[in-house]
Structure 1
């Protein structure tokens, strides 16, 4: 067992996962601190404080690891990227739904990370991240249910007998489309509608307060893309007489005073773009209808193209920190 870490170098996976986590949590600290300046519901406030504590702990622990390893600590996001005195931009209901979405993303990310970690101190860190996020998600789910605002996936009839697929039309839309969706297909459609609805709400809010015209246009374009994707996914649920999750754009106020720097808002939106690509990839792997797979694939291509614009704006403003890279052997040979 490698319990002594002094002579065990971090792998590429471990270094990158720690770096990405630092960037995300330094952003979350700014967001949560601002949220806490404008909150009325004590239950929501308690969970927000807990989420803030977790992000702050993560940042401190990663800084300690990087210092010991001689790794440059990222700039990330600081108090310069948040204006705590800005007017309220979101409602308490939005805070709950926002945290629920972030917790969902954390569960998926940490679960994937842990399986690729071998050094025991890093594995212990991410295992604790996963455990604490499970606890946070459980508390958020409970509170959303108590307040009657949880958007649960719809129910389907329980299977009553063993049945086997008899026709290829179960898979291939061209052979006579299977109208009924599988439970996994419903769950993914429902989840992707919700994440896109969060995207539209964030786009609405950030476009009201963005300082840069280019970033404003980028956000508005992102809103249009998200609305189009919601329409595509909703059509599948509606064809099966299943409910479509409601939008929560109404949880954004009419404030035009920016609580965040343009850099933070653009980075935040970029994280959501890449998370959406991952969600669509999972949905493709769990879909058994060819038309649904084609739609997801088509929409992924659109989001990938959109993500290029995100990267170009970040680079143009010198906001895109370079992540850990492998050695460029050709350059080393030239030197």
Structure 2
């Protein structure tokens, strides 16, 4: 007879995933509540309501599991981290692009988590979260298409015959390498331009409303990095006469009124950076041109350094909660 989940302890990945999801969704609740204070389009409002409902459900379910297991519930983010009375900072169009990115992140994150989860209640939770992300991503994509705002990836010719690679120069730079990009390479270039442009828009808004000079300068630097990376990727597409998606910085208003705490905005940025590092890693593994691999690798190194600087700022200001850790056996064996 199978054991009930109440008699099975949570594993390291199960605790860690739930802990991270709690922080991320508590942040999303604050962000989405604020967005809903300034929304004109009823269709986009419906998506924001749906997203908020999902994040609220996640937080409550995880809190229930932690209380049952006698695990300390993270502080996360609360109404103290958002000013719902602040003026509008982003447009409706930005909200739509934001939800698209949010749903895509959920698809990638939950699908990566599920194979490492064994306890039935946790697996059920993440299975439902993945299904909800699939539905949300479909809804937002359809709405983007209906409103003519979808940034569809470029088209490439249909192959009309089977061909085999005959030269090593297909992969290696300096050997008369191919100029044409593979469909997979085009996909990653387009996607990473989009995510960097969204990052540039968010950093623009955050830099306008940040409280501390340290956080403000960090967001300004993030914007510069995002725009630089987007240009590197755009150049590859343009050299192949392929269109690149346009930026959305114009969807940020001129407001400088307090909206989010610096703690929330720095955490938000850390999540975006973590996602970006993963995106670049996948692009490296699926790119077959050495120049592309080199560019992704050097840009990833820059993002890693930027991420480290962000962590240092959060630690210095006591904005970073400590994640669940394994037992420090060496510390336990030390004698006074």
Shorter chain as denominator, the TM-score bin is over 0.9
Please state how far the C-alpha of 1:2 moved relative to its aligned partner: 4.2
Distance in 2 between residues matched to 1:251 and 1:34, nearest whole Å: 16
Partner of 1:109: 109
**Residue in structure 1 matched with residue 64 of structure 2 by the alignment:** 64
Please tell me whether residue 95 in structure 1 is matched to residue 98 in structure 2: no
**Equivalent position SS for 1:115:** helix
1:178-327 to structure 2, matched below 5 A, reads 178-327=178-327
Deviation for aligned residue 1:142: 0.3
CA–CA distance in structure 1, aligned partners of residues 7 and 103 of structure 2 = 34
Deviates more, 1:130-139 or 1:265-274: 265-274
Q: Give the 3-state SS of the residue equivalent to 1:230 in structure 2.
A: helix
**Cα shift at 1:176:** 1.1
Give the C-alpha shift of residue 177 in structure 1.
1.7
Write out aligned runs for 1:35-54 (5 A): 35-54=35-54
Deviation of 1:103 after TM superposition, in Å, equals 0.6
Paired position in structure 2 for 1:55: 55
Tell me, what secondary structure is at the counterpart of 1:211? coil
Identify the residue that residue 7 of structure 1 maps to in structure 2: 7
Matched, 1:143 2:143: yes
Indicate conservation of the 8 Å contact 1:2/1:119, yes or no: no
Structure 2 Cα separation of the partners of residues 180 and 116 of structure 1: 38
Structure 1 segments of 4 or more deviating over 2 A?
none
SS in 2 for 1:23: helix
Query: What is the rounded CA distance, in whole Å, between the counterparts of 1:227 and 1:248 in structure 2?
Result: 11
Aligned residue for 1:288, secondary structure, equals coil
Give the distance between the partners of 1:119 and 1:36, measured in 2 at CA. 36
How far the C-alpha of 1:259 sits from its partner, in A, is 1.2
CA displacement, residues 292-320 of structure 1 (integer Å, 9 cap, x when unaligned): 00000000111101111100000000011
Alpha-carbon distance in structure 1 between the residues aligned to 2:258 and 2:175 = 53
Q: The residue matched to 1:163 in structure 2 has which SS?
A: coil
TM-score under structure 2 normalisation? 0.99
Partner-residue secondary structure (3-state), 1:276: helix
How many Å separate the matches in 2 of 1:234 and 1:261?
Answer: 33
- Measure, in 2, the Cα distance between the counterparts of 1:66 and 1:107: 24
Q: Which whole-Å deviations, capped at 9, do the CAs of 1:184-233 have from their partners, x for residues lacking one?
A: 10000000000000110001101111110011111111111111101110
Correspondence 1:126 to 2:126: yes
Structure 1: gaps of 5 or more residues: none
Aligned mates of 2:8, 2:332 — CA distance in 1: 24
Partner Cα distance (1:186, 1:53) in 2:
35
1:293, 1:130 → 2: CA distance?
A: 30
Q: Calculate the TM-score normalised by the size of structure 1.
A: 0.99
| Separation in 2, partners of 1:27, 1:239 | 40
Does the Cα contact within 8 Å between 1:198 and 1:248 map onto a contact in 2? yes
Q: CA deviation at 1:270?
A: 1.2
Residue 22 of structure 1 contacts residue 58 of structure 1 at CA under 8 Å; is this kept in 2? yes
Cα displacement (A) at 1:3: 5.3
Q: 1:256 to 1:119 in 2, by over 3 A?
A: same
Aligned to 2:173: 173
Q: Deviations over 1:47-105 (max 9, x none)?
A: 10000000000000000000111111000000000000000000000000000001101
Per-residue deviation, residues 90-140 of structure 1 (Å, max 9, x unmatched): 000000000000110110000001111111110000000000010000000
Structure 2 gap segments, 5+ residues each:
none
